[in-house]
Amino acid sequence: MTMTIPWPDEGLLWDEAWTDKLPAFRGLCAPPPPGPPRYPELVSLLVSLRDAHPAIYEMMEHPSAEMLHRLGEAAGQPWTPWWRIEEERITPEALQQADPAAWLELLAQARSLSFSHPYPWAVDACLQLHGFAFALDRVLALWVVEAAARDGCVQTSGPDVLRNWLAGAADAEHEAALAAAESQRQRDPVRRLACAWLFPHRADWARDALADRQPAAAELLATCAVSPVDFEALQPPGGFFGPQLLQLRLHGRVAFDPLARRLEHELAKGRAFDKTLEMLCALRVPALVHLLVRHIEHPKLKGALDALAVTHPAAALHAAIERQFQAPTRTLEPWLLALGDREPAALALALANLDDGSRARFEVRQAQLQRSDSPQAAARALLANPPWERGVKAPKLPVLELASIATEERIHWPEGQQERVLAHPPRFWSEQPMADNFPVALGLRQEGRSQLLAGEPLRPADVEQAGRSTPSLRLVMLAPETTRVQLWNSWPGPWEGDGQTVIWLRAHYGIAALPGLAAYVQQKATTGGLYHADDVESPRLVPLMMQVLRHQKKERPRAMGWLRRFARTALFQALPLAFQRAAGKPREDARHAVRWLAREGQRALVLEVAAAYGDAMVEAATALLDEDPLLVLPARMPPLPDFLRVHALPWPALRGGEPLPLGAVGVVVQMLAISSVEARYAGLDLVKQACTPASLADFAWGLFEQWLTWGGNAGDNWAFWGLALLGDDECVRKLAPLVLKWPSEGSSARAAQAIELLAAIGSDVALTHLDAIASKAKTPALRGTASTKIQAIAEARELTREQLADRLVPRLGLDVAGADVLDFGPRRFTLHFDETLKPFVKDGAGKRLKDLPKPAANDDAELTDASTRRYKAVKKDSKLIADQQVKRLERAMATRRRWTGEEFRTLLIGHPVLRHLVARLAWAVFEGEELQCGFRVAEDWSLADDRDATFTLTDDATVALPHPLEFGPERLRRLQDLFSDYEVLQPFKQLTRETYLLTEAERETAELTRFRDRVVVCASVLNLANKGWQATGADGGGWISELTKPFGEVRIDFRMEPGTIVGNPLHEPKQRIPEIRMHRNGATADSSPTFASLDMVSASELLRDFELLPLAADVP
């Protein structure tokens, strides 16, 4: 006889700590009784208004005065604020009188005072002075008045004094109160609702009030004894904790399904769900196990499942095995296998309660996973017995103290390039103040100028550093000609980058300029500066190139190219460094470079150069090259952190399908702990070759989540950087939203590290998200960090930022036809995109389906899982792509960007995703500034001109996305008609875009006054970030009051008053615009730019930004 699985069935495990969080409810939660009547407090609150704040009521539309006026109108009474009448109205003696009219007015006065909140105190005084029946009558009278004045909405802070008293009243008092309320509730629906709320335990009263359908019923009755069905109808899924807790306390296990639906909603919307999960876990019912198993991919639900599996392992295993066969996930299988290993008796019981087919399938799978042999023998051997556990260490390398042999310095110019550079020397276009023929902007002291004129190098003290910005390198061209190379070579600080001047100095002075070049390249090594060393063969560059090779992923390809090209020069410097006595980064960089060159096919050259240093160097180099990379370990293996729970991580799976054993998973963690992005442990390469990329990415994400859950300690951030070593695009998709949130949570440093991490991952999806962060992060610091990183990547690829963005649009695995196959085994579906970039699928018959179907019983589980995950990833990516690319194309129109015809064909219309947006816009060919012909993309992806004739685009044509001002009236009208005839909806306003012109007077000034003192909606101002405006002078949680937007060599700055908190437009919903002013950028600026410097498109877009800001008249 098969034993029955012990499922959790204890029902509600109520936590007494929750009782105080319940709303007042007789028999469940009674707040402490109030103290004696507090006349002094009540009187002082009301009287103080007369003495201290009379001006408040004189203010137009003050909320308190306005509220009292509305209450008075609804009551038919000419009430005015009490600071205007005699103090005797609110003395203790006056309050002793049970005068209904006086008390109604007193309660109304108290209700209207939003800034001092005396309403509850007034109700308390009425209750204690005149008893419940009188207090109820007066509170309900004001309730009716307020409901009439505010469309059914009522402030319950005040009446809740009565509810609290009723919850704890003695039985006799409660019965009398109930009788008083019974007569009141018969009078009208408003009082019926109020009484149901005041007596929440009366389920019948709540049902009656529900039937009345009063406007405020949803909020009020949610805290009453309504059924779970009625509660769901009343309370939105994101409602408050107290009402949900009351439902749990009243209905126990019956509340599970509504709570589960609430959790599903919160998960789907990305909202906080901790409290909902806490309540669900207090309901020990079988459905809880299935719910947690279904959401095992979420770390918090997985943690709850881990805890439940401790007490009910067989139930957890049974539910997990069933789920794995129905909807397999990458987390579920290793989790249930690990649990089965720990709980063999529970596994046997779970299997005994499965049907024969499911049990057989699981046992076959289990047998496959428990095989001892594997094609990935090297990885398994390493993971089973890593060298640090065997105590095996690499033999010590010899120590040789040898001076490096000098090699020739040369600049290898491509044919004709040096002459072309010298023909166009850089110029400094603005006048500069001079001292002894040196630009003052350099900050040279008299001693420094004398040094240079005497042919001597500068010393650090020769330059004034305090309070000076980094000087432009082009200032060198203004120094006396005989001092320029010495100024360049001995400058003791950084230069503001100027590639043209660097190239010219190198061309003019040759190898004499190499000391300055080496310093400049070192300074700009992370931002594209290595470009200037590409053709320079010099031993002084070798340490830098070795450092970049080992530590900088972004610039590593350029360093690799240099080291390959000048391998002999590099080795003459690297070999002595590799065997010097002093340990540290230079020695390790050199050893790494020598090993790398040998792997690149230069082993013979390594030994040849070593021979120039003697036999001892040959032996040392041979020992280095033959060293086992798996034995390159730190002197002491770091201990694993306290947060780590190896058994709870998703287990990496070998490419044959079998997961790594638990012990091997721990070894992979140790490998990550001794790795960095720049220098990873060699064993990780074996692991990456042996395991599936997706399972390694899941493992890395699980490790990151454990680290983050335990506070994200910087000392253990190797667990964070493991995403760069093992993560994939899915990790990027999950990480990017966290990066945007971290600054507002006080984790700006972590967000900045994440920027580096995304760049290190380096995939197109990673860089696309990095670009998105650069444009939509709420804090200027994070936007700036991401923008700098994107700019550096673009420069490293010798592209502009926009050219890089063209090449980063993910293709989502599609061909140019924009379709792909999602394979379920016996069923196949094709993936397509509509004109809004929304993905959809068609079945085998070509019929468009509402969504990708759920897996069926006869589908191939592995293929189905892969296809489903791919479709979900495509949906996520396409949403981001649509948002980014629409903004980018609109920016291209506003900034008058140009493409070649070849770029248009390959990067835009030839892109399987982006082409769907491109086809909804009007394009044009330009010659210089003159528009020659407009064209569009036809339905068959051919091109048609603005007269709907076939159009041929040449490769060398200049293509643009024109602004309506550039089309001209006649051509614009023709294109508008064509798009209307073909029913083409545009992704943003192009052909019907609002256009504006500056007046002649505005063109001659630097300040735009037409919007001065306009009061606009704050949220709309902050949304100008989508149009290129950037906040200045604010960081996470800071204050923002100034914005700026660049327009070529000038920028427009404007202030808003009073400003607001970053990311919170509701803090100050109205903003006044006191000033909009133009400034010129850079050190070469003249002091008086005018709006005439803007072209007509830029001027129109600037005016449009402000014209379309909604006025704030209707904002409360």
Cα distances from 956 to residues 752, 796, 908, 909, in angstroms, run 41, 25, 15, 16
Contacts of 466 (CB under 8 A, 6+ apart): none
H/E segment holding residue 438? strand 438-439
In this prediction, residue 1086 has a pLDDT band, given cuts at 50, 70 and 90, of very low
Q: pLDDT of 375-394, one tens digit each?
A: 456 677 778 778 888 777 77
Task: Give me 668's structure tokens.
Answer: 């992979």
Confidence at residue 635, expressed as pLDDT on a 0 to 100 scale: 74
Please give the mean pLDDT across all residues of the chain: 85
CA 643, 646, 647, 648 dihedral sign is positive
Cα distances from 857 to residues 356, 358, 783, in angstroms, run 16, 12, 48
Q: Quick check: 958 and 930 in contact, CB under 8 A? A: no
> Is pLDDT above 90 for 707?
yes
Q: Quick check: 22 and 116 in contact, CB under 8 A? A: no
Per-position DSSP letters for 532-545, written without gaps between them = GGTTEE-GGGHHHH
Contacts of 13 (CB under 8 A, 6+ apart): 282, 283, 284
Confidence at residue 374, expressed as pLDDT on a 0 to 100 scale: 42
**Structural domain boundaries in the chain:** 24-222, 256-369, 820-981, 1000-1107
Confidence at residue 43, expressed as pLDDT on a 0 to 100 scale: 53
> Is pLDDT above 80 for 1115?
no
Mean pLDDT along residues 470-481: 85
Q: pLDDT of 794-826, one tens digit each?
A: 877 778 888 888 888 888 777 655 557 888 988
For the stretch 1083-1096, what's the b/e string if a residue is b when 16 or more beta carbons lie within 10 angstroms of its beta carbon? beeeeebebebbee
Mean pLDDT along residues 261-276: 83
In this prediction, residue 85 has a pLDDT band, given cuts at 50, 70 and 90, of very low
Confidence at residue 361, expressed as pLDDT on a 0 to 100 scale: 83
> Is pLDDT above 80 for 11?
yes
Nearest to 1074 by CA among 1088, 1058, 1062: 1058
Q: Quick check: 567 and 405 in contact, CB under 8 A? A: no
Cis ω for the linkage preceding 1089 (within 30 of 0): no
Per the DSSP assignment, residues forming a β-bridge with 1016 are: 1071, 1111
For the stretch 860-889, what's the b/e string if a residue is b when 16 or more beta carbons lie within 10 angstroms of its beta carbon? ebebbbebbebbebbeebbebbbebbbbbb
Nearest to 539 by CA among 512, 520, 559, 567: 567
Confidence at residue 995, expressed as pLDDT on a 0 to 100 scale: 95
